[in-house]
Structure 1
Amino acid sequence: MTTFREALALLGTSVPDHLTADAEVPVLAGPQAQGDLLVFRRAAPATVEWLPLPAGGLRLVHGEATGNTHWLHAGFGSDGVRWARSTAGPPRLALLHVPDGQTALLIHTDEHGANGIGPGTYAIHRKRELSIPSTAETVTEVRLVTD
């Protein structure tokens, strides 16, 4: 099992004082959330171009409100993890494929810890929020949640 300290070390970042360094990173294979990101299992489109994750990880979202970043990283000993750019447009950021026996890590540099992502194929999305003024009956604005 990977600890939060080990996950952040992949990014060259230390654990903030308010978080537990030796907390185990859970590995989940179902829907999950981390701050302003959502991860859902899904089948990959037939035409997807899978790429290896960069050795230093892939920055998915730079926290607009806090400056903290969400990173996608291959888990330890998980060389087969692949990602693909999404052509679906916002709010979908990327697709992720984790082979059997491997993991990926979704790491937040300060606030939300880290999530382990188990084997499967996933879509990674930004959260959205709807604005409905009290005088209106319909949604007037859809915007991305900023972390």
Structure 2
Amino acid sequence: MNLAELVGRTNVDALDHLERETTIPVVDGLQAQGDLIIIPFSMFAGDPDPNASRWVPAEGIHLVAGGDGRNPHVLVADPGTCTWSAVGNPELGIGIIENTAPAYLLHPEHGGTGIAPGRWVVRRQRERTGLVAD
């Protein structure tokens, strides 16, 4: 998968300075994309509510966006290969990805990043009075 293919599957474009023909690496481990952190689920205890899971469609799911709805982080996967579960526990994260094939995050400023098959916790960077905590 390259950036042009990923952009083509969503309604989200990447900024012009990003090379469209760049192959997106698929990472099997801890990674970050801007203010989102992808963490192996094995580092956490507990399970998500299986009733909260939904399949990720080919055009993707917007996980988070700025207050004005711009600059979204979009989770993209082939149909039937990835589920997304939003969780309400801030200690656990904003959601859980379970994928049997590579899934991808797309962001206009950061481009794409690949997520190897597995179970992953998605957390968001938090800022508190001059302190940034991941």
Task: Give TM class, smaller chain.
Answer: 0.7 to 0.9
| Residue matched to 1:31 | 30
Task: Call closer, same or farther: CA 1:46–1:20 in 2, change over 3 Å.
Answer: closer
Whole-angstrom CA distance in 1 between matches of 2:72 and 2:48: 30
Whole-angstrom CA distance in 1 between matches of 2:87 and 2:16: 35
Whole-angstrom CA distance in 1 between matches of 2:123 and 2:12: 24
Shift of 1:143: 7.4
Q: Does 1:20 align with 2:22?
A: no
Contact kept, 8 Å, 2:4 with 2:21, in 1: the verdict is: yes
Q: Normalization by structure 1: what TM-score? A: 0.75
* Higher relative helix content: 2
Aligned length: 130
Shift of 1:89: 3.5
What whole-Å deviation, never above 9, does each CA across 1:62-87 have from its counterpart, x for those lacking one? Answer: 1248921110111x4x5221111213
| Residue matched to 1:105 | 104
Shift of 1:14: 4.3
Poorly superposed stretches of 4+, deviation over 3 Å: 12-15, 142-145
Contact kept, 8 Å, 1:91 with 1:144, in 2: the verdict is: no
Unaligned runs of 5+ in 1: 133-141
Unaligned runs of 5+ in 2: none
Alignment of 1:1-16 (within 5 A): 2-16=1-15
Q: Which letter does structure 2 place at the counterpart of 1:119?
A: P
Whole-angstrom CA distance in 2 between matches of 1:21 and 1:114: 10
Shift of 1:55: 3.6
Which of 56, 60, 74 is the matching residue for 1:57? Answer: 60
Whole-angstrom CA distance in 2 between matches of 1:126 and 1:91: 10
Which has the larger Rg? Answer: 1
Whole-angstrom CA distance in 2 between matches of 1:70 and 1:91: 19
The alignment-based identity, stated in percent, is 28
Task: Call closer, same or farther: CA 1:88–1:46 in 2, change over 3 Å.
Answer: closer
Give the match's secondary structure for 1:92.
coil
Whole-angstrom CA distance in 2 between matches of 1:111 and 1:20: 12
Q: Does 1:82 align with 2:87?
A: no
Contact kept, 8 Å, 2:48 with 2:96, in 1: the verdict is: no
